[in-house]
Structure 1
Amino acid sequence: MEPVEINAGSWYLRALRADDRIDDRPALAAGGIDDPGYVARRTREWAESTRYSWAVCEPTTAELVAEIVVTPNPDGTAEVSGWAREGHGAALDSGQTAVRRFVAGALGLQPL
């Protein structure tokens, strides 16, 4: 599956990136994720439909403030988890609400 962008009201959800236009790795490191292959792994997981992740971003700067991860289960459910940089819990909450709707409506899975 190709990554899907989601508009979550005040927040913009997109796939993680590390390219010449947007590099999420510094924001990930600020959130405690310093694995240099993290973005590539998340991209591969989208392509394999094994896990879906979204960077929850400030819409004006595209800066990552949180991440949401969905892991499909064989029983038709999906684990929804996430983390937020300090002071951005509201962004995570808002993003998770939108992702849960996507999981149920577009993927046909029951979000847990």
Structure 2
Amino acid sequence: MQAVEINAGAWYLRALRGDDRLSDVPALTDLGLSDPAGYIAGADRPDADGDVRCVWAVCIPTTGELIALIGVTGREGGDGALCGRARSGYAGALADVAGPVRRFAEQALSVTVGDAPIRPETP
């Protein structure tokens, strides 16, 4: 499922972009991804087991700059997990958006995330 835009207070969540108007490739490189363009292309595809996977770019609202990634994975109608990583200095943003992403996962994806902490990995 492609990520829908979420206004999470001080932060704006959107789908990953890699086009001539906006590219998240430099920020994803900064996060340590070895193939950022490939990651963008496959970000919202279900995994090999058919589990739901949805990934958002956590952005500064005024610039659209990606400062963190957050994602949810899990089986529709079952349990899931949040994972993400933030650029240097933006760990607080990742924590701030966990609530809105949990609510989206539960209401729109039928994936129960619960109160488990965000796993510090690439979604």
TM surpasses 0.5:
yes
Structure with the largest fraction of helix: 1
Task: Provide runs of 4+ in structure 1 moved above 2 Å.
Answer: none
Ranges in structure 1 where 5+ consecutive residues have no aligned partner: none
Q: Structure 1: how far apart are the matches of 2:68 and 2:3?
A: 17
Question: How far apart are 1:62 and its partner, in Å?
Answer: 0.3
Q: Secondary structure at the match of 1:7?
A: strand
Q: Structure 2: how far apart are the matches of 1:32 and 1:2?
A: 23
Q: Structure 2: how far apart are the matches of 1:3 and 1:93?
A: 18
Asked whether the 8 Å contact 1:73–1:79 carries over to 2, the reply is no
Ranges in structure 2 where 5+ consecutive residues have no aligned partner: 115-123
CA RMSD of aligned residues (A): 1.9
Q: Structure 1: how far apart are the matches of 2:96 and 2:61?
A: 13
TM norm structure 1: 0.88
Identity %: 48
Q: Structure 2: how far apart are the matches of 1:74 and 1:32?
A: 29
Q: Structure 2: how far apart are the matches of 1:105 and 1:50?
A: 13
Deviations 1:51-91 (A, max 9, x none): 10000000000000000011113661111111000100111
Deviations 1:37-58 (A, max 9, x none): 1100114x17x87310000000
Q: Structure 2: how far apart are the matches of 1:74 and 1:109?
A: 5
Q: How many residues align?
A: 110
Q: Structure 2: how far apart are the matches of 1:2 and 1:86?
A: 26
Q: 1:78 and 2:74 equivalent?
A: no
Asked whether the 8 Å contact 1:25–1:34 carries over to 2, the reply is no
Question: How far apart are 1:24 and its partner, in Å?
Answer: 0.1
Query: Which of these residues, 62, 67, 70, is aligned with residue 68 of structure 1?
Result: 70
Q: Structure 2: how far apart are the matches of 1:76 and 1:109?
A: 5
1:111 aligned residue: 113
TM norm structure 2: 0.81
